Structure formats: C-alpha cells, structure tokens
A and B are shown apart, each in its own frame.
Chain A
C-alpha cells in the first residue's frame, strides 16, 4: 500500500484561473476527506465522501469549489475563478468507515498570484 497520493504537489496559478487537484486514497478506504491548511493553522474540514456520495460540505466552501469522487475511488477538487485567498495547502485524507484514524496525503500547495 502506497498511502494517500495527491497530485500535483505544487500549483501556481493566476487569479481568475481554474485549478483541479487529484487525490488517490488508500484502496480499501471508503471515506475520503478534503481539508485546507493555511500557514500556522491546523487543517480545516472542507468536504467528505462516503464511497461516491458527498455527504457533507463545509460552509467554508464557496460555490467556486466543487469536489467529486465518481467511482468511489479517486477524488478531484476543483476551484473555479481562483482568488488570492484560496492560497493554501489542500490536504486529502482517507479512512475506513468505522475508524476515525485519518491517513493524510502530502497535500497540494496552491499559490494564487
């Protein structure tokens, strides 16, 4: 098992552009989460999937953000019309249904210029 994989590791974009990140969770994990982490802060919950169903979305997530997990395996997080405030580390995590232990990927560092 190679753990949770996230791509790309770094993304630099101009304000107003769209970006998409990918997360490949641990294969047997049903749950997949997206978190956002800014410098000097802990991860903040964005959204959660149980298999392919998106069951919860944080109020922090504006309409410019959308996430999918089409076949209950990998997930994508898209940010449309990026803003400088979107600059952060975007972390993906996965877990087994009945286990609260989160396995995090190394994240995608987004810089919006």
Chain B
C-alpha cells in the first residue's frame, strides 16, 4: 500500500538549472509534508517541510509548493549545484503521529 507516490525516479539537471520533484498522497489525514535528502552511506536528513495551511514555503534555494485539493506537493531546487546530487524523498505524517510514510525517492544528478 503506497500512500505517497513520488516522481520521477531519476533526474539529470544542468548546473544552474531548476530541479523539480513531485509527490502525491492519498491519506487526507496527513498534515505534515517533509522532504529529506540522502547522500550515499548516510541516513536521510530533513531539508524542508510544509503544513497544508500554506501553499508555498521557501528556504534558500529550496521551495515546496503544496496543492491541498489535488493532494500533491513538489520540491523545486533553484540554481541546482553538483553538491545537490543526492536522493530526495518526499514524506507525509499526521500531526502528533509517529509514523512517517516515505516516497520511493528521486535520484538527482546535477551536471557541472
């Protein structure tokens, strides 16, 4: 039962370009939507997160866009850099809940 669907599986972007990763969720009880970044040999690390009461959140070069009616959210990485090359996971959980559901991940490669 896949509750968070993520696309694309992999993405190649030129340095300075915009990377866009999309996610869709099913459970309307979810109300916390984080994005995690994972480098090889490391655990995931929280990048940015959003709650459904706002449609967009920006932190530096990273922006989450959230569409509650469509049950979709996306991560935009502006001015992508080779150091951004990693696997990105969208996720969802309920307020006060304990279980975070992760998407399958997107492997991003930024070409120098």
Partner of B43, one of A44, A50, A55, A106: A106
Interface residues, chain B, with chain A CB atoms under 8 Å away = 4, 6, 32, 34, 36, 41-46, 49, 89, 91, 93, 95-105
Within 8 A of B (CB), among A33-90: 33, 40-45, 48, 50, 55-56
Contact B46 A101 (CB under 8 A): yes
Is A93 located at the chain interface by the 8 A CB criterion?
A: yes
Could you tell me the distance in whole angstroms from the C-beta of B30 to the nearest C-beta in chain A?
Answer: 11
Partner of B105, one of A41, A98, A103: A41
Contact A45 B101 (CB under 8 A): yes
B39 and chain A: residue at smallest CB distance: A106
Contact B105 A42 (CB under 8 A): yes
Is the interface on chain A under 10, 10 to 19, 20 to 34, or 35 or more residues? 20 to 34
In the complex, chain B residues whose CB is within 8 Å of the CB of A31: 98
B9 and chain A: residue at smallest CB distance: A40
Given contacts A101-B49, A104-B43, A104-B45, contact A40 B100 (CB under 8 A): no
Could you tell me the distance in whole angstroms from the C-beta of B39 to the nearest C-beta in chain A?
Answer: 10
In whole angstroms, what is the CA distance A48 to B98 when docked?
7
Contact B98 A40 (CB under 8 A): no
In the complex, chain B residues whose CB is within 8 Å of the CB of A45: 99-101
A4 and chain B: residue at smallest CB distance: B43
Pairs A–B under 8 Å by Cβ, sample size 11? A42-B105, A44-B102, A45-B101, A48-B98, A55-B98, A56-B98, A100-B34, A101-B46, A104-B36, A104-B45, A106-B43
Is A26 located at the chain interface by the 8 A CB criterion?
A: no
Contact A42 B103 (CB under 8 A): yes
B32 and chain A: residue at smallest CB distance: A100
Extra contacts besides A48-B99, A100-B95, A104-B43 (14): CB < 8 Å: A41-B105, A42-B6, A42-B102, A43-B44, A45-B100, A45-B101, A55-B98, A91-B43, A93-B43, A100-B93, A102-B34, A102-B100, A105-B43, A106-B43
